[in-house]
Structures are given as C-alpha cells and as structure tokens.
Amino acid sequence: MRKKIVAGNWKMNLNLQEGVALATELKAALAADKPNCDVVICTPFIHLATVAGITEGTVIGLGAENCADKEKGAYTGEVSAAQVKSTGAQYVILGHSERRAYYGETPEILKEKVNLALANGLKVIFCIGEVLEEREAGKQNEVVGGQLADSLFDLTDEQFANIILAYEPVWAIGTGKTATAEQAQDMHEFIRGVIAGRFGEAAAENVSILYGGSCKPSNAKEIFSKPDVDGGLIGGAALKCADFKGIIDAWKD
C-alpha cells in the first residue's frame, strides 16, 4: 500500500527561532492527536540540524528543500546531499518549480541531484507541474510526462522506490487558485500511468503522488478524497501549526 503523506515546504520563510517554535508546536500537536498519514517538514538548510533534534523519535519526518548537483568540493555556498543527510534529515525536495524557474535547474541538473540524493540515502520528493500557458494550450500532460521522463526514467527500480512525486501546477502555487479535485485526479491518474509504462504496475501502485498548490484545511479533504491523490505538498499553510494540522487531519474521517 502506498503511503499517505502531508509534507510542508517552508520555502525561504521563518528564521531559526521561528522554525524551532513551529516544529516544537507541531510536535506537541501531533503527540496529542496522532496523524493518520506520514508527516514531513522540509525546512531551509540552516534549520535542519536543530529541527532534527526536535523531530527525532517523533512521527515527523524532516527534509531539505534542495541539495547540490555536485558531490563535494569547491562549490561555495552549496549544500551537498551528504551534508543534508548528516543533519538527520531523511528527505529532500527536488525539481520545485521555483528552483526550475528562478535558478535555472534543468532536467540534466535535476538528474544529478536525484542521483546524489538517492546515493546518500535520502528520499526524494520530486516536483512536476505545468505553467498556466501550457495548461491553457492543453499541453499539461505532455509537459508533466516530459518532466518525469527527462529526470527519472534512467533510475533503477530500486532507486525509484525512494521517489515521492508532487504534482504542483505552477498556476496554483501561492496564488490561492487551487486546481479542482478533478483536475488533480486527472493529472495524478495520468502520472501513475506514465510511471506504470516505465517502471511497471506495481511501482505505479506504490508511488505516492502528492498535490501541491494553494492547499488549505478547507480544500484538502476534497482533494485527498480522490483515488490517485496520496496527500499534499504544502507551502503557505505549512507555516502555521493550526493550518498544517488542519490539512493533516483531512485524512481523518
């Protein structure tokens, strides 16, 4: 059975003290009321080691939002997959549309990052999604299928078992404009089909596919009710414990 997951992506928000406070509050909230899904928080690099001390031994998994496309060495300002792993983190987000759009991350760069993350024992939350013009031109399946093929199709079956997919339509990120549950389901079903074609039916059944883009407590339940939606990758609503917990609780009856 594939996992249900609610993951937070803090992006470039919260200073260290604020991040520690949020992780501490979330830890207490989830200790008092156990989640029905896996919970992950992905934080800026500088928070990881400290937040790992808070989440260790709890239901909360920890991830980075990025890692370098090089193993180690003279790459000033970069953070390697091995360094992320050494903080106690278990996950890394790769391929986020903000990284693709603002930092020039190409499919080739993402392939390197995915390989290094997996080689260092991290699970990868790999993001895919079309921009508005592509959706308006009816090209969303072509775009998302291409993103999957370009960066993930060279993986082995063993490697692919450590991939979580996140469908994030770029037009829905931070805009308040959520994809409808039907739009999410249609795309997730398509993605599962693409994965089945490359890695087989069992891998497609087992891979968790998260939805991301203006997901909130008020719309999470409807989106998560769709058969191919296995949870969410949450931006803005992951920055407040009550909102994030509200989305986690969408998995409860």
For residues 212 and 8, give the distance between their C-alpha atoms in angstroms, rounded to a whole number: 10
**Min. distance of Cβ 10 from ligand 13P in angstroms?**
9
**Catalytic residue status for 96:** yes
Cα separation of the two ends of the chain: 19
Question: Residue 43, interface with ligand 13P (CB under 6 A)?
Answer: no
Least distance (Å) from ligand 13P to the CB of residue 42? 8
173 binds ligand 13P (CB under 6 A): yes
- Spatial CA neighbour of 8 closest among 246, 234, 245: 234
Identified binder of ligand 13P from the candidate list 4, 5, 6, 9, rule CB under 6 A: 9
Alpha carbon distances (Å) from 209 to 66, 79, 96, 214, 241 = 19, 26, 14, 16, 23
Contacts of 208 (CB under 8 A, 6+ apart): 2, 3, 4, 5, 164, 165, 230, 231
Neighbour-count burial of 34, counting CB atoms closer than 10 A to its CB (0-12 exposed, 13-18 middle, 19+ buried):
exposed
124 scored as a contact of ligand 13P (CB under 6 A): no
- Under rule CB under 6 A, residue 44 binds ligand 13P: no
Verify whether residue 168 is a known catalytic residue: yes
DSSP 3: P
Residue nearest to ligand 13P (CB): 235
Q: How far apart are CA 146 and CA 153, in angstroms?
A: 10
* Binding segment (CB under 6 A) for ligand 13P, from list 16-24, 112-120, 209-217, 245-253: 209-217
Q: Which residue, 96 or 111, has its beta carbon nearer to ligand 13P?
A: 96
Q: How many residues bind ligand 13P (CB under 6 A)?
A: 14
Span interacting with ligand 13P, options 83-91, 107-115, 132-140, 211-219, rule CB under 6 A: 211-219
Residue among 47, 65, 96, 130 flagged as catalytic: 96
Active site residue ranges:
96, 168
Point out which residues bind ligand 13P (CB under 6 A): 9, 96, 168, 173-174, 212-215, 233-237
